[in-house]
């Protein structure tokens, strides 16, 4: 049944996604009583801070949820179900990981407009609660919203609320995932993190200029592809839901809200409708933010809720964020990296860019960005890539590092290795001043920041990496397994390879050595003795001098 519905629609809704996670062994189902205010997020957090490798991280479905006062909730809660790991993201995208970059680039270039359906075909509107009923225990207080950072957060916050707004002039909609503090059964906070230049904030400004409250719908439990599209940064004149259509290769079903003139994803688990005040702002926070620090109190928007619509048996979703790696960083990273790659290759036409990698642990993907470049790329192209990366987004690119293809951008040791031996600070480092402070704790001393651009690519040939050649390491690994030793997790470089300074003569000597014929090399060396040169004189330097002398 699931396959036929998905095939007809062209994409999975959330229950189908949960079933796929279960079938793939990527779902932990917790039936014991769990307190959403004190236990839920800390429990899931352990798989990110407890030494659990990414390939062992899973989604969590809690089916017996209570709050700190003992209230029991009907809705189960899914945490880590969208991007708890890349494997989970792959299930949600319904694409192999090696296809995701190209899929994103194709979706942005070829969006598919959504398909409008009636309320009778919109599961998210099976039950409608509005007006005074919102204050009778069926409003926001009926939602099992977890506290994300117990001990710091001042309330439960929506972390997977998809805020849908539209430009009052053009009618183009925007979907953005923003944090939202629960303030009353019919009042919800809205923090659009303006340093990230979200479309929702610009729409709020436009409605404010008109002197009218901003119509808004908050979708929770969307089809996973909609969540992936909501975090992507696309041009303001482009509807993210159309980009999502490009992602899945089919139009996304949308329905008109019951109280607001907005199109909402029809297969969402629930929708919160209302109007964001444009005359006043309210205090909001503290809240543990995705940059890894607690965001203290600040004034932000608030939404007066007019209706909540939902499925008969909805599943509530919550994204685990805060200190990275987290679900929040995975869902953004997999979307942003193709965006940067497409910008460098297609918009700027830079030659030789292999990939863009955003460093995730603790730095929250935006601060440290590594660009892989092909060997022998002109220096001008390397610097165009460095500047282009630093300038694409105001909040991204504090440290931008260009490396060669042999460097694993996810291995910080390898990056430091390249910086140590392939870059000279006086020649290969530039500081870009007057950059936006970006997403993070705001300085009370200075609001401006800067970017450090580092060309850590090879500028000349180097001797080989001093590890055994691949064939010897692979043979040793076979023996390791035969001995029943713990599983190996190779980190590049795990074998030696040439960087341009290896000659046929050197190769012949190395072969003689592994064949046991190294005495022959000693005999040859004895015939090449000299008394007219200094200690430590390199033979390659002598040869180059002789070549220059003719």
Mean pLDDT in residue range 254-265: 97
Task: Kindly tell me if the per-residue pLDDT of 378 is higher than 90.
Answer: yes
Q: pLDDT of 323-362, one tens digit each?
A: 778 888 888 888 889 889 999 999 999 999 999 999 988 8
Distance CA 61, CA 26 (A): 11
pLDDT at residue 533 in the model: 85
Cα 266 to the chain's mean position, in Å?
26
Task: Kindly tell me if the per-residue pLDDT of 214 is higher than 70.
Answer: yes
Q: Are 143 and 75 in contact (CB under 8 A)?
A: yes
pLDDT at residue 233 in the model: 76
pLDDT classification of 195: cutoffs 50, 70, 90: low
Q: pLDDT of 51-88, one tens digit each?
A: 888 888 999 999 999 999 999 999 999 999 999 999 99
Task: Kindly tell me if the per-residue pLDDT of 2 is higher than 60.
Answer: no
Task: Kindly tell me if the per-residue pLDDT of 146 is higher than 70.
Answer: yes
What value, to the nearest 5°, has the Cα angle with vertex 216 and ends 228 and 130?
115
Task: Kindly tell me if the per-residue pLDDT of 125 is higher than 80.
Answer: yes
Q: Are 171 and 197 in contact (CB under 8 A)?
A: no
Mean pLDDT in residue range 125-137: 94
* Residues 6+ positions from 105 with CB-CB distance below 8 Å: 338, 341, 342, 346
Mean pLDDT in residue range 92-106: 85
pLDDT at residue 1 in the model: 40
pLDDT classification of 7: cutoffs 50, 70, 90: low
Taking the CA atoms of residue 507, residue 508, residue 513 and residue 516 in that order, the dihedral angle to the nearest 10 degrees is 150
Q: Are 91 and 20 in contact (CB under 8 A)?
A: yes
Mean pLDDT in residue range 360-369: 89
pLDDT at residue 197 in the model: 61
Task: Kindly tell me if the per-residue pLDDT of 369 is higher than 90.
Answer: yes
Of 460, 346, 445, nearest in space to 392 by CA:
346
Structural domains in the chain, sorted by start: 2-318 (2.30.110.10), 348-455 (3.40.1670.10), 470-548 (no CATH)
Q: pLDDT of 301-315, one tens digit each?
A: 999 999 999 999 999
Mean pLDDT in residue range 101-124: 92
Task: Kindly tell me if the per-residue pLDDT of 276 is higher than 70.
Answer: yes
Task: Kindly tell me if the per-residue pLDDT of 215 is higher than 90.
Answer: yes
b/e 392-426 (16+ beta carbons within 10 angstroms → b): bbbbbbbbbbbbbeebbbeeeebbebbbeebbeee
375, β-bridge pairs: none
Q: Are 368 and 358 in contact (CB under 8 A)?
A: yes
Share of the chain above pLDDT 90, in %: 63
* Residues 6+ positions from 303 with CB-CB distance below 8 Å: 180, 187, 188, 189, 190, 216, 218, 272, 274, 275, 276, 277
pLDDT at residue 540 in the model: 81
DSSP assignment of 205-249 equals HHHHHHT-PEEEEEEES--HHHHHHHTS---TTS-HHHHHHHHHT
DSSP assignment of 406-437 equals TS-TT-HHHHHHHHHHH--HHHHEEEEEEEE-
353, β-bridge pairs: 373
Task: Kindly tell me if the per-residue pLDDT of 168 is higher than 80.
Answer: yes
Task: Kindly tell me if the per-residue pLDDT of 538 is higher than 90.
Answer: no
pLDDT at residue 6 in the model: 59
């Amino acid at each position: 049944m699931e396959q036929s519905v998905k095939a007809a629609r062209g994409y999975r809704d959330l229950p189908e996604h949960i079933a796929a996670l279960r079938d793939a062994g990527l779902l932990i189902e917790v039936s014991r009583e769990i307190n959403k205010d004190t236990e839920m997020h800390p429990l899931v957090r352990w798989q990110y801070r407890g030494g659990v490798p990414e390939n062992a991280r899973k989604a969590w479905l809690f089916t017996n949820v209570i709050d700190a006062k003992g209230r029991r909730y009907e809705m189960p809660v899914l945490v880590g179900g969208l991007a708890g790991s890349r494997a989970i993201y792959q299930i949600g995208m319904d694409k192999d990981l090696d296809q995701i970059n190209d899929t994103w680039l194709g979706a942005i270039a070829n969006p598919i407009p959504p398909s409008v359906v009636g309320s009778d075909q919109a599961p998210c509107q099976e039950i409608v609660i509005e007006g005074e009923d919102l204050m009778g225990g069926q409003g926001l207080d009926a939602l099992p919203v977890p506290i994300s950072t117990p001990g710091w957060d001042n309330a439960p916050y929506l972390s997977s609320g998809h805020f849908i707004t539209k430009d009052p002039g053009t009618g183009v909609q925007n979907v953005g995932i923003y944090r939202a503090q629960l303030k009353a059964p019919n009042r919800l906070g809205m923090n659009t993190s303006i340093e990230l230049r979200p479309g929702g904030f610009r729409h709020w400004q436009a409605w404010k200029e008109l002197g009218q409250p901003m119509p808004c719908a908050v979708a929770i439990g969307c089809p996973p592809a909609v969540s992936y599209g909501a975090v992507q940064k696309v041009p303001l004149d482009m509807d993210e839901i159309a980009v999502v259509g490009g992602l899945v290769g089919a139009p996304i079903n949308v329905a008109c809200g019951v109280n607001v003139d907005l199109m909402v994803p029809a297969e969402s688990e629930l929708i919160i409708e209302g109007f964001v005040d444009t005359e006043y702002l309210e205090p909001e926070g503290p809240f543990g933010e995705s940059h890894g620090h607690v965001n203290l109190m600040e004034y932000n928007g608030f939404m007066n809720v007019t209706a909540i619509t939902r499925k008969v048996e909805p599943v509530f979703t919550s994204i685990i964020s805060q200190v990275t790696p987290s679900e929040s960083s995975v869902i953004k990273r997999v979307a942003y990296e193709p965006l940067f790659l497409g910008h460098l290759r297609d918009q700027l036409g830079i030659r030789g860019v292999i990939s863009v990698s955003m460093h995730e642990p603790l730095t929250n993907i935006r601060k440290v960005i590594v660009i892989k470049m092909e060997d022998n790329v002109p220096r001008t192209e390397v610097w165009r890539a460095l500047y282009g990366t630093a300038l694409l987004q105001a909040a991204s690119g504090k440290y931008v590092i260009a490396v060669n293809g042999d460097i694993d951008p996810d291995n910080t040791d390898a990056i430091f290795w390249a910086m140590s031996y392939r870059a000279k600070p006086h020649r290969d480092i530039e500081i870009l001043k007057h950059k936006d402070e970006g997403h993070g704790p705001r300085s009370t001393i200075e609001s401006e920041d800067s970017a450090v651009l580092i060309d850590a690519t090879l500028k000349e040939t180097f001797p080989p990496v001093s590890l055994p050649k691949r064939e010897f390491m692979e043979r040793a690994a076979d023996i390791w397994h035969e001995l029943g030793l713990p599983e190996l997790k190779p980190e590049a470089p795990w074998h030696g390879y040439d960087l341009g300074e290896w000659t046929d003569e050197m190769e012949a000597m190395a072969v003689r050595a592994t064949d046991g014929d190294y005495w022959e090399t000693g005999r040859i060396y004895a015939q090449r003795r000299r008394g007219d040169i200094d200690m430590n004189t390199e033979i390659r330097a002598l040869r180059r001098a002789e070549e220059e002398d003719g």
